[in-house]
Structure formats: structure tokens, C-alpha cells
Structure 1
Amino acid sequence: MGKLPAMQVSRQEEWQMPLYQEQYDRSPALTPAEREALAEVAILPPSCHRYDLVRKVLSAEALTRLLRPLQDAYDLKQCHPGGRIPYLRHMCLQMSQMNKSFWAWSKEEWLNGATSAHITYKKTGVAITMRVTAYLLCGLLIIEDRYFAAHLARLVFGTTEVAREYQKVATVIYGSDGLGYMRNRTRDNQLQATLVLAMLINRNPHIEVFTTECLQATQQLLTYYGYQQVFRWMIRALVYLKIVEETAFADLFGSVEEASAWWEYTKLDVDPTWLAWVQAYITQTVRGDEHYRKGEFHHLLLAGRWLKRYHPEIVEPAQWNEPIGYEYVTWVCQAKRTELVLESPRIPRDTSQAQVPLQAKTINDRIGSVRRFFLALQRRPYQVSGYTAQRLVLPWDPLEVLGTPENIKRQIGPNPRTLDPAWWQKLTWAAATLSAQDLSAYGGIMYPLAFYRAVALVWVTGARRADEIRRLKIGCVSREWAPEMRDEDGNQVEPEEHFAYLRIPVNKKRGEFWIPIPTYTADAIEMWEQLRPKLQGPQIDSKEHKPTEYLFMMRNQLMGKKFLNDSIIPLLCQISKLVDEDDVPLRDAVGKITSHRARSTLATWLRSNGLSLPYIAKLLGYTDLKSLPWYMREDKHRFAREVRKHNPLNRMVTAILDTEAIKRGAGKPAVFYYLGTGEDGRPTLCASPDYSTCVHQMQCRKCEMFVEAEQAEVIERRPGTLIIEVHIPTPPLVEENLNQEGVGEEITKCLPAPEVPTPAYHFNKNVPPRSSDADLQQMKQDLEALTAEWAEKAGKFDLRSVAMKSLKKRMAALAAKIEERESKLPVPVDSSLSTDQNS
């Protein structure tokens, strides 16, 4: 296709159309000579258009007025060199049939002629040339029926000129410093067609001279949704380029009509008087955000439906009495899930839920809304239906009558919706390794990879609510590292040890605050902040009520409220399936995986890793610990381990530490354990260093290392003594054989008492020193070995087996020999001493 000659245009206002209508004779009527000449052309057979005869007829002087502008338009187009004769012949034929010059043709007649030319002359470009002619000479824009505006614009304005102007708009729309719309071939073609259509309507290719009237005419020709969408993009780009005013949106799309307020209820299932009181309460009470007020409104509407069905005579709050209040509470406690609930057209009602009772929390919320409604009416007057109503005076107490029953309250308790640790690990890994390939496999992606990666990492590492994530501001990341930073020992802190913090916006619990985040999350946020389209204006924050530059904005729109639940979480679940055959489903036994479940999962995980409760509360954004049970699920294994440390068979024993004995050196007793007090209230001690493992702790008075009360009081008064607490576990041999009948008693009888390290440990004057008989000591060691062997095998083998019975006989025989040998000692052990039951 040929191109227009380059046109030197210094300013946009100096643009001139390549052909002027004023330079031609535009008389609509045909002269007799013109009719005769056109008739000669019409009678020529179609097959003779290539011969000199046709050229001679078309060059007749009578047709000069009509054919000169047509040939100028053809020369401008320069499409098919061999299409001149078919084009002129077809135009003459149409004028002959309509008996008027082309200057008088209507738009429909031009379109019909172009359509017939497309059928008759398919490859000669006659139809295209007719559209150029209609636009340049008659000011008619014909782009219907198999023809695109971009083709016409390139022929009229030139390909270079159109491309340059298009690039100005595309840079704003698709550029990283612009609006940031994602570019693809379809939207690119739609945007180009929309822009050149505006050029053609404005009869000027330069976007700087676009007017609102030109854009309105363009909008009327856009019938498909895709073109309407890119038309909005184009208008937004023209606004940023300051070509049109910001009011162009209102002029083109109409002022955005405020949707009817959500408290405007028109159904007849609620009495109008009750509805008026409810609307006054909702609109005139400034309490809570919009979500909370909507919940209150719907609960009060439900109470109005209940009145309409069961007590239609009661239409306003003043008519309520104590029996009505009790009856309503009883009905709510017994109501089914769908009873008197308005069916939503967007959410079909599940018939299986019709007979399911309400949950305790729902019961509490419904009763609480009505209770708060009556308490508010008692506190202040409201404007109801145009008049000021007096404060409500009730002979009954709403706190008592409309109180939630205790059995319902007891059912409401913390139930953290944590995710399975293995599933959570997969989701975290999927967020950290998110790639462009993952996005292409997922499909339906509308934002850059950096956007998805930053949002996903903040969700899996930050323990934030969805609203807090979407309302993060530009510059929300802070890093703390500098070359002069030192640790506790004065050493320079390494760069990889630096800290990153995330500034959380104002939420429902507190103002702005900072939380620590992993550095890779901070890197992802900063990467997106660099790629974030710059031509996006601030928006009014819903909680701070001031202009805010949001982080997660694209195309001048804030990230949607359901983006996490509908896009990010399904994406991570699908990626986890690609990594592991056992994918993470969108639902588990608890319910759907939502954005809020990350908070309880992270809180539980941090607690299991030893993070303190105050720190977890700070991370979640709470100023106290009362809300933590609703987020942290108790780790039953951790709980069992903590309780096991406090075995009832273990003891905390008070002891005396003699620091002076430690200074005197080895061989001197330094630790004395309190055994208890006698009937006289005086203490007794044990000096055995093996006290914690001794199995004879109930027979201390027979031991050489038993310290009587007189000696114990002397030891207590020694200089340098300290009172300490010592944890004494149950002796292992005893604990291993607790549930074996008679075994514990036999082990206690068989095992000898702890050896006395040195004579300095011998305090009990009633018990002589033990013999130094080597054979006796060997037998005792053998008995200890057999006892250890018994303890090892007792949990593995049947006690009634031959081997265990044989081992038991050997132990008993050896114990008897030891007893017999000890009985032959010069001074027998005094067995008449009583057992110290208080030890």
C-alpha cells in the first residue's frame, strides 16, 4: 500500500486536509451532457474496462467536473495502480443509476455503493477508495461493514502521523510510569482503532486538539464492550496529558449516580413505622464502620419481620414489653438458619440449611443488636420520619430482658481457624518462588508479576488483615542498617543481619505501627514500588479520611477487597499442586481458606517456636493479650511436654549449701537435703551426694548419712550456708517399673544403700560404718548389674517367661547371700529404728 507524502506540520492547529471541497464544483444535479456521458459508461460491458475505449469514454470532457475530484482522491490513496479504471467506472455507474452526482449522495447510498463494489471488484480496492472519497470530499465517515477506522486514518493522515500520536497515548496507558495497563495484541488493536476513530471524527490527527464534542461523537460509535473499556483508558490518558479537563469523565460517562443507600429498604415484610425507627438509629448513630452498621441494620430488619409475622399490632419500639422481649429471645435461640432471612438474588438459598439451628455466635449477635437498639433509644432522642421523638422510657431493663442466655454464652469461645502446618509451608514456599510461568499457567492474570509476588509475601509473612494489606502506603518499608551499626560485643553488624519493618496503616484496633518482616518480603515490596505506575492520583482513605498514595494500585484503582481470597490464595494453591502431588485445596475441615486464617496460623506457629505472648500481640496489632486465644490454637504436644516437666512423682527439695565446705576441698559434705521435721518440729537432713537417685529415701534413719536434729541445727547455723531449691526426679529404676506388681518393692530390697564417700559423711551415730569386706562389695556390684538388666528387660519381655523368672531367682539368691554376709558382721545394723515418714 502506498503512503501519503510527508506533510510538514509545525503546529497541530496548522493541520490541513489533503483535499479541499471548495476547489471543486459541488453541484448535486447532473447536466444533460453529464447524463449522456454517464449513460455511455453504463452500457459498456464489465469485461471491457481494460481497453482504450473505456479510457476514452471516461476522459470525455463532459465528465471532467465529476471525475477530476475522484481521480485526486484516488491519487491520494495510491492503493492499487490498476484499480483506477474500475473505480471511475463504478462511480459513474452509481451516479447514472441514482441520477445525481456523488456530491449529493447520502451516507446510506455511499455504503450501498461501497458494498456492491466489494462484491464486484474484490481485489482492486474500489470499496476502500470510495470510503476515502466519501470522507475527504463529502465529509462522511463510513467505517461499517468489513472496514476498520485505522485503515482509513492511515490513508488520510499518513501512517507516520498516526503512529506518532498513538504512541503518545500508549506511553501513558501502558508505560511503567503511566497508568500501567497490561498490553496485549487485542487491547492494542482496540485502543488504536478507538484513537484513530476520534482522529477521523475530529478531522485532525493530533490529539492535542481533541474536544469533548469529538470524544462524545466517538463514544456513540463504540458498541462493543472491549472498545468502551479502552475508550475509558484513552480518556484517562488525555486527562493526565492535560488535553481534556477532569470533568470529561462526567461529560462522557455521566455523573456517577450514587447508588441507593443500603438502608433504603422497600419490601413490605417490615412495618414502615418500625423501619423508620431502625433507619433513624442506623443513620444518626455514629458507631462502628459501615460493615458493622450493615450487620446491625439487617438484624433489626429480621426483628421487624418477626413482629410482622407474630405480633403485627406492635409497630414501634415503645410498644415492646417484657414478655415480648423474652419471647423474641426464645425465638432467636430456637430459630433455624434460613428462617425469616431475606433471600439474596446473587446467592441462591441452600435448602439443606433450612432446618439447621443457628450457631451460638449468630444468636448472640442478633439478640445483641436489638438490645443495643433499645439502649440507644433510651439514651438520646432521634429524628424519626421528620419529627424529633422523645427518649424512650421503658418499664423494663433491656440488659436483663434482651440478654443472651448463659447457656448460649458458654458455647462462644475461641476457635482459631489455623491451617495445617504442612499446607501452610507449601503456601509460603509457593509465594516465595512465584514466577511468570506460574502466572501464565494460572490464567486470567491482570497485574504484573511483581504485584502478585509482593501481595502474596505480605500475606504469608505479615499476619495482616486483608484491609491492612490493600491499604498499605507507598514508602511503607523501612530498613535499619548502616556501616556504623554494632552488635552487643561492638562488632560491625553484617548487612545480611539488617532488619526490615513494615508500616501498618490505621486499623480498627489502633493507629499506625511498625512490624518486622523478612528481608525478602521487603525486597518484593520495594521492587513493586519501583514498577508501580506513577500516573495514579491519591485516593481518600476510608479510615484516615485523607488523600493517600496506596502501594497496591493499578490503573488508578485500589486492589479489590476480594483479591486475596479470589486470586492470590487460589493461585498459591495451584502452584503448590505443581510442586507436590498432594496439593493444597481451597477448603479444609474448618472451611474455606481465607485471608484472615493466615493470622491465626502465623500466631500459632510463632508461639510454638517460643515467641512470647506480648510480642505476638504486638505483631497482630493488639495492645493486650485478651484477643490472643481467638488466634492461637493450643499445641497439645507442647502442653503435654510442659506438664510432664512437673511430674507429681518428682519433688522440689529444700537443701543447705555449705559454701565453706566447698572451699575446704573434696571429701567434705557440702549439700544437705531436708528430709522433713519430726514431731518436735525440728529438721532432719541427708548428707548423701546420691540423694536424687537413692531408692531408699523412705528408710533414711537406717543410713549412715542421716543427720539428726541436733546436728542439723548446727549445720544450719554454719557461716556461709545458703538455702537452695533442688529438683529431685523420680529414680529411673523406680519409674520404669511402677506398673509392675511387686517389682518396685523387690528392686528396693535388692539394691544396696548408697555408698558413703568418706568418713566425713558418716553422721548417724546409731548406725556403725559399713564393713570393708571386698567379697561383700563385689556381691553388691553384681546385684546392681542384675537389677539393671532386669529393668532393661522388664519393658520388653513377659515377666512370666523362663528367662525373667531365672533372672529374678538369681537376684533373690544374691540378695540373700548379701543379707547373710552382713548379718555376720561384728556389729549388726539396728533394724529397730523407725522409718522417717516425713522425708
Structure 2
Amino acid sequence: MTTAASLPEDTHGPWQSLIDLRRYDRSPALAGAEERAVRELGLRNLRRQRYHDPDAPQWADISRLTRPLQDVNASFDVPPTEHVRRALNDAVAVMLLRCADEGRAYWDWDSEEWLRFLGHNHRAFQGQVPDWTGGAVRPALCGYAYHLAGFIGFNRLGHFDRLALAGRVFGRHLVEAEIGQVRTVLTGWGYQYGQDHDKGVPSVMSQLFLLNRSPHTSDLTTAFFDHVRREDLLTDGGTRVLFAVQRAVAALGHCEAPALRSGAERAGHAGVPPMWGEWVERWTATTTMTHRSRLHSRAALLKAGRWVADQQPEAADPATWTRQTCAAWIAAVDRMTIGDYVVRTSSFQERLGQPLQAESKAGLVRAVRVFFRDIQDWEWLPRRFDPQRALALPRSINALIGPRPRVIADDVWAKLLWAGLNLEAHDVPRGKAGPVYPVELVRAVTLTWLFSGQRSNEIARLRLGCVRWQHDGDPVVGNSTQILARDAVCLLDVPAHKTGTAFTKPVDPLLGQAITIWQVLRPSQPKRTDKRTGEQVDFLFSYRARAVSSGYINSTIIPMLCRKAGVPAVDARGSITSHRARSTIASQLYNAKEAMTLFELQAWLGHRSPESTQHYAKISPNTLTKAYEDAGYFARNVRTIEVLVDRDAVTSGAAAAGEPWQHYDLGHGYCTYTFFEQCQHRMACARCDFYSPKDSTRAQLLEAKDNLQRMAVSIPLTEDEQAALTDGQTAIDQLLSRLADTPTPAGPTPRQITAPGTAQLLPIVGVRQGKATQA
């Protein structure tokens, strides 16, 4: 028999099993003598306890059953302790008793029989074996199944130590060395290992070795990883760790890196007619859209395919689509609700049944329109209708679509800024094994969102070394903290984006310092493909060989800041999202005391057109209020003048006899006409009988009275009167000319009264008035 000491230790040579099945008699039937021998030996002999008889003749009758089991025991890399020896003897006894009960040798058991024997979990196993069977017996039986029957269904055995089993089968030192290579790569990328509870990678690697029947990492091929993933052969949460393991194996040069598939990429063909699905995949493989747009369009086309299967089964072939089919599709989209014709609804359970937003409807119609436009232009199908007309977006939907940047209120934004600037380690969200990302990375992402005014996709795609410093117009050499703390300018390099090419913009030094700190601590990461440009780049916000998702700000950063700042995540304008910060920052820069011009703001935001910038540069209420007050809207349309009420004339009854008692102060005199607000000459007084100049004796006597009550009345102005007050002498002359033949309240016209060529304008009490020429 082979001993554990003779196990191969070469981690580079191919691994060969020490169990050669060709050496054994693998007859499936159990001979009568074999079954009698097992019964006659009894438990003491079968378990090889202290007083067993090793020379009993029955051992010879069952040698073809015991020899393979003893060879497997000898091949196990286990410590030579008395406890282990007893466990292996008990495992052999259990196997022999099972064969006697079944009436068949274990060579005849298939995978399902082995699975029933080993049990779906440890409790199920203990329920069908003798009470004296210890916990170390089941791993030995798993080794028998692996070596003698090729059993690999360990993912169906519940929870047990697969690392120990792999070490027992292949050798502990060999398994540990191979796993060590992978863990070294992952640790260099930022994965945290060494904790007692962290057994994810060793467990998954052990399962992979057992499934591949080789303990060498170099034997883990791309096809094998695809097979494991497709057949779901891992357990204990192994699927989540498998992605990281394959990336590490790829970094070692043994396989291809796994593709990171988004939800749109994983959208399956469930419910989609096969022919429609084939056309969609063909179009997806040919279109030159950006990666993200291509995936969104594919998901929309698959949704249209499910609608076809449900409502228009005869239209499963795009060649059969007509204008009537297009009209039916647009009508269906207009009435569609959230959750219709989708595969998974777990992400929007609370919104199921609500109407689709206009933008979502437009996206569905646009995807089908572009699909038919392309396959007709590429001459895959004959042109039966014009997609631009037959699949045009209805006005009722199009009218609801437009730029809607939503500014965050100044007080809420100030609290979010405070929360970001005072971010602590305990504020960072934690997973089961600790923080998902280091606090330095989270702080850098947070300040980038708060200060850069960039889209979330642009933040996620920032590259290593994107921050540069200048002092007095010259680049800062080295890392002079004195210069950086004093008056250095921080420049941020923004990658190619939605509306333009790469550009550079100034940002607050606080942002630059946070990014610099993260760059120092950032573990070395493999280059990844920028899906917008196709370049292999070093993403700044990358950890554990994965770039931070563009949705990380919405899903994690904003809720974290809202909790710390004590503000709700939803305000009157809707949820606080990553893009709202861009509008908020742009509006504050546009309304600052030393405000940016529209074209400067356009360059800072990276817009291709100033029209886009206008949607973001919202005038603040304070700025708008000041401008409104300066415009003097009320003063232009309504003027306030002072009225003197002669209470003596009222109380004495003289007013009832026709004595003037109400005097309108015109500045240059008083008007006693009771219906002054209706007089057409009020802003250019013709000095009729109701007029008393201030230099007259009558006016002086009026002002000398003690019992006068002063009041103010508002007089609405006509357009000519507004012009006379605000537009200067020319307007005054035009007003006087127009009123020359208009009768005054006393009867005569100004021409008959022989009024002067110019007249003094009415001064407005309590309201700032423009320049006016007085008569």
C-alpha cells in the first residue's frame, strides 16, 4: 500500500491518482460467501477493535472489497493518529455493512446511490448509519466515492469541510500551495484574508480541484469555469467567490478573465419567440452603439419580443411587421405599466403596476425604430414601411420629455457637504466581512461627487493620476504640502464623456487631496477596458480588481450622506440622485457673487452646446428676487401719491357745501378734483380750476392747518403715463400733445387754458422714481 509520505509534492507536474482501478476486481454482484463473511466477522472484527481476529478466514473472502478501501485510506494525507486510524477502520466497516445490506458491491452504485448513502447533510447521514459512526467517517466515505466511483456531486452534500477533503485526497501541502498563489494575487488587489471566518476562496478552490480532478491551478481552464458556472456546481456561496477566483487564475495566465455582465446583459430570452431572439442577437452583434446603449436596446427589444409572443404571435419574424403592427406596438407602449413583459421584478416590487414614465416609453419605441431602420439599411430585410414615420414617438409622449435638472435646496446641500467633509470610518457601509471599500476610497468618491459636478459614469471612469497641481501657472513638482495647502490650483482630468472628448477643469483642492490620499493607498489593480473608448486603463476608483459601479453613488454614497446629515433622501422635487448634484453646483456657480458666465460654465461642465448649460444654470430665488425688485414692476404699473384730508372742512360741513376737502399732492401743487384717479391729465396737469400751485396763498394756508390727515393712495398707470415717467422728455411732450384737446375736469381743454409747453411730472411718494423734467 502507498503511504501518505509518498504523495507527490511537485506543484508543476500533472497530478496522477494513486488509485488504479484496473488493479481491482470490480464485479458488481456480491457473492454469497462475501455476504456471509461480513455477517460472521461481526462489528468487533469489522471495526478492528482491540480484540479483533486479524487472521479470521472470512477476511480472505472479502479481500476484493477491503483492498481498494485500504488503498484509498493509505493514499489519504492525514495525520497518523489513533483517532484517525479508528475513523478509517469505522469507514471500512460501514462500507462493508452497506454492501451486505444492499446485496451488491459498491462498484455497482451510481451517483444517486452514493448521494443517498452520504446524505444531503450530516444529519441525514447519521440517520442511516450505526450510532457508533463518528463525525470523521463521512469525509472518508466521500474519499471512497471520489476515488472508486468518480463521484463529484459534493455541492449536494450540504455543509462540510471541502478544504479538508481536498487536502486528504491531493495532499495538504500541494493544495495549500496552489490556493496560496490565488490568494496572493487577490490580496494584492485589496481582498482581505487571514481571518478565521473567511474561508470563501479556500472552499471554492477546493471544490474546483475536486471537480476538475486535479489540484493544479494551471489545469483550471476557461471552459472548465464556464462549465462550473453553467451547471451551478458550487455551494456555500461559492458562485459569488468564483468570479474573483477566475480573475486571479486569469492573472496567473491559465485562463481568460470572466466577463462582468450587467443586468441588461443577463436579460434572458424567456418568453421571447426564438426567431425574434435570433434577430435581436444578430442586430446586437452588428450595431456600433456604445456598450451601454447596445445593452439597453437589447433589453427593450427582448421586451418587445415578449409582447409579440403575447399579442402578435404572427409578428415573431420581423419580416412580417407592417405599419399596423407598429401602430399596435406604440399603443401597447403608451398603456404599458411597470412589470409588464419582464423576467425579473425583484428590483421594483414597490412600483409594480404604475404607468411607465415618458422617458421609458420613448426608449422602448426608439429601440424598435432603430432596430428596423438598421436591418432595412443593412438590406437584411426588404423595406415594407418607413420606421421613422411608422414608429415615430407620439406627441402626447414627446411633450412630456425634456431636460429637467432638479436643484437641491441650499440648506439641504450645505448639510450634505458637511456630512461629506466630516465622513468617518464608522459611517461607511459594512458587509458581513467588514467594509466593502476602504474609507479613503469612499471619501474620495464622496468629495468627487460633491465638488466636481460630473456625471456618475464619468466619476466611475476617472483614471489613475487624473489630479494635477499648479502653482502660479506652473506644475507642482513633487508633493509640497506647503504649496498645496496655500494657494495651489487643483486640475481634474475628465475622460471622454457623453457630450464631448476629454478635458481638464479646476476643482477645489479638498477634492484633489482626497484623491491623492487614495492613490497612495490604492492596491495595484489590473487594467480594465473603458467601454466608452475601448482603451485599457487604470481606473482610479478600483478595488479588488473591479471598478466602482456608476450606480454606487445612488445606491450607497447618497443614502450614507443623508443618514449622517439627518436629511431625507427624497425632497419636493423627487429622490436625491447623483445627477442632481451637477445641476446644484452649476446653479450655485451661476448665481455666485462673482458668477461664472454662461460660456465659462459650459466649459466647466463639459457641454458641447450652451443650450445644454442653460438647463443646468438655474437662477436662484434670491438672485431672481433682487432682479425683480430692481426692475420695479409694481412701481412701473402703480404709483403711490400722498393725499391731504382737511378734517376741519369735513367736520364743519363745508365739504358738503362744495368746499374742497381732499387735496392730491402733485409735488408742484395740489389737485382738489375728487375723482383724481380718473383724470386723464393727472400725470401732466393742465392746471385747471381744481389746481392750486404750491406757491399760491391758498396752498400755503392749507399746509399751515394743524388738523390735516395724510393718506397714500395707489394710482394705476396707463402705458402712456408709464412712458412719461420712465422714458424722458420726449414721452412727456407726446403725452401733452395728445391731451391738448382733452377737456379737464373744469371743462376747458389745456389749449384753452393756455398751459405751458411742458408740464411738471407727478412726484411719487415712497417709491423711487426715474428722472423727469419738471415744468
TM-score interval, normalised by the smaller of the two chains: 0.5 to 0.7
Distance in 2 of aligned mates of 1:423 and 1:623:
30
Distance in 2 of aligned mates of 1:25 and 1:373:
64
Q: Are 2:406 and 1:421 equivalent residues in the alignment?
A: no
RMSD (Å), alpha carbons? 6.8
Q: Are 2:626 and 1:630 equivalent residues in the alignment?
A: no
Q: Which residue of 1 aligns with 2:584?
A: 601
Q: Are 2:196 and 1:190 equivalent residues in the alignment?
A: no
Q: Which residue of 1 aligns with 2:507?
A: 517
- Partner secondary structure for residue 462 of structure 2: coil
Counterpart of 1:620, as a letter, is: L
Counterpart of 1:544, as a letter, is: T
- Superposed counterparts of 1:670-819, under 5 Å: 741-742=643-644
Q: Which residue of 2 aligns with 1:765?
A: none
Distance in 1 of aligned mates of 2:280 and 2:25:
74
| Cα drift, residue 521 of structure 1 | 1.4
| Cα drift, residue 448 of structure 1 | 3.2
Distance in 2 of aligned mates of 1:367 and 1:137:
60
Call closer, same or farther: CA 1:589–1:97 in 2, change over 3 Å.
closer
Q: Deviations over 1:36-78 (max 9, x none)?
A: 875553175999944xxx24x1255874865794797399634
Q: Which residue of 2 aligns with 1:592?
A: 575
- Superposed counterparts of 1:129-168, under 5 Å: 129-131=140-142, 144=157, 147-157=160-170, 159-168=172-181
Counterpart of 1:634, as a letter, is: I
- Superposed counterparts of 1:173-322, under 5 Å: 173=186, 175=187, 177-178=188-189, 180-181=190-191, 188-200=198-210, 205-208=215-218, 210=220, 222-224=233-235, 226-242=237-253, 244-246=254-256, 291=293
Match of 1:468 among 458, 465, 480: 458
Distance in 2 of aligned mates of 1:532 and 1:497:
26
Match of 1:58 among 44, 54, 61: 54
Call closer, same or farther: CA 1:619–1:156 in 2, change over 3 Å.
same
Q: Which residue of 1 aligns with 2:742?
A: none
Call closer, same or farther: CA 1:15–1:193 in 2, change over 3 Å.
same
Q: Deviations over 1:414-448 (max 9, x none)?
A: 76411111111122222223332112469896433
Contact 2:416/2:562, CA 8 A, preserved across alignment: yes
- Partner secondary structure for residue 426 of structure 2: helix
Q: Which residue of 2 aligns with 1:733?
A: none
Distance in 1 of aligned mates of 2:22 and 2:280:
75
| Cα drift, residue 165 of structure 1 | 2.7
Q: Which residue of 1 aligns with 2:701?
A: none
Q: Which residue of 1 aligns with 2:13?
A: 13
- Superposed counterparts of 1:368-767, under 5 Å: 382=377, 386-387=381-382, 389=383, 416-440=405-429, 446-481=436-471, 495-539=485-529, 541-576=530-565, 583-610=566-593, 611-612=595-596, 613-622=598-607, 624-642=609-627, 644=629, 741-742=643-644
Contact 1:280/1:384, CA 8 A, preserved across alignment: no
TM-score for both structures, normalised by structure 2: 0.59
Call closer, same or farther: CA 1:626–1:607 in 2, change over 3 Å.
same
Call closer, same or farther: CA 1:191–1:123 in 2, change over 3 Å.
same
Q: Deviations over 1:3-30 (max 9, x none)?
A: 976978466328777xx55799845689
Q: Which residue of 2 aligns with 1:682?
A: none
Contact 2:542/2:548, CA 8 A, preserved across alignment: yes
Contact 1:162/1:205, CA 8 A, preserved across alignment: yes
Call closer, same or farther: CA 1:467–1:96 in 2, change over 3 Å.
closer
Counterpart of 2:526, as a letter, is: Q
Contact 2:99/2:105, CA 8 A, preserved across alignment: no
Counterpart of 1:386, as a letter, is: L
Distance in 2 of aligned mates of 1:553 and 1:462:
19
Q: Which residue of 2 aligns with 1:822?
A: none
Q: Which residue of 2 aligns with 1:754?
A: none
Contact 2:412/2:567, CA 8 A, preserved across alignment: yes
Contact 2:204/2:241, CA 8 A, preserved across alignment: yes
| Cα drift, residue 601 of structure 1 | 0.8
Contact 1:9/1:15, CA 8 A, preserved across alignment: no
Distance in 1 of aligned mates of 2:377 and 2:543:
43
Counterpart of 1:73, as a letter, is: A
Distance in 2 of aligned mates of 1:620 and 1:648:
34
| Cα drift, residue 505 of structure 1 | 1.8
Distance in 1 of aligned mates of 2:504 and 2:216:
50
Call closer, same or farther: CA 1:641–1:480 in 2, change over 3 Å.
same
Distance in 2 of aligned mates of 1:485 and 1:588:
43
- Partner secondary structure for residue 596 of structure 1: helix
Counterpart of 1:631, as a letter, is: Y
Distance in 2 of aligned mates of 1:410 and 1:61:
96
- Partner secondary structure for residue 449 of structure 2: helix
Contact 2:94/2:129, CA 8 A, preserved across alignment: no
Contact 1:416/1:629, CA 8 A, preserved across alignment: no
Percentage of matched positions with identical amino acids:
22
Contact 2:182/2:249, CA 8 A, preserved across alignment: yes
Contact 1:553/1:559, CA 8 A, preserved across alignment: yes
Call closer, same or farther: CA 1:481–1:171 in 2, change over 3 Å.
farther
Contact 1:37/1:60, CA 8 A, preserved across alignment: no
Q: Deviations over 1:200-219 (max 9, x none)?
A: 45665443455678768877
TM-score for both structures, normalised by structure 1: 0.55
Q: 32-41 or 152-161, which moves further after superposition?
A: 32-41
Q: Deviations over 1:135-159 (max 9, x none)?
A: 6788767954664221223345554
| Cα drift, residue 240 of structure 1 | 0.9
- Partner secondary structure for residue 418 of structure 1: coil
Distance in 1 of aligned mates of 2:39 and 2:251:
57
Distance in 2 of aligned mates of 1:465 and 1:47:
71
Distance in 2 of aligned mates of 1:412 and 1:8:
69
Call closer, same or farther: CA 1:559–1:11 in 2, change over 3 Å.
closer
Call closer, same or farther: CA 1:218–1:80 in 2, change over 3 Å.
farther
- Partner secondary structure for residue 237 of structure 1: helix
| Cα drift, residue 164 of structure 1 | 3.2
Contact 2:430/2:436, CA 8 A, preserved across alignment: no
| Cα drift, residue 498 of structure 1 | 0.7
Call closer, same or farther: CA 1:80–1:429 in 2, change over 3 Å.
same
Call closer, same or farther: CA 1:100–1:63 in 2, change over 3 Å.
farther
Distance in 2 of aligned mates of 1:553 and 1:278:
33
Unaligned runs of 5+ in 1: 321-326, 487-491, 577-582, 651-736, 750-793, 796-833
Q: Deviations over 1:246-269 (max 9, x none)?
A: 28x69xx99x9987999x99799x
Contact 2:420/2:446, CA 8 A, preserved across alignment: yes
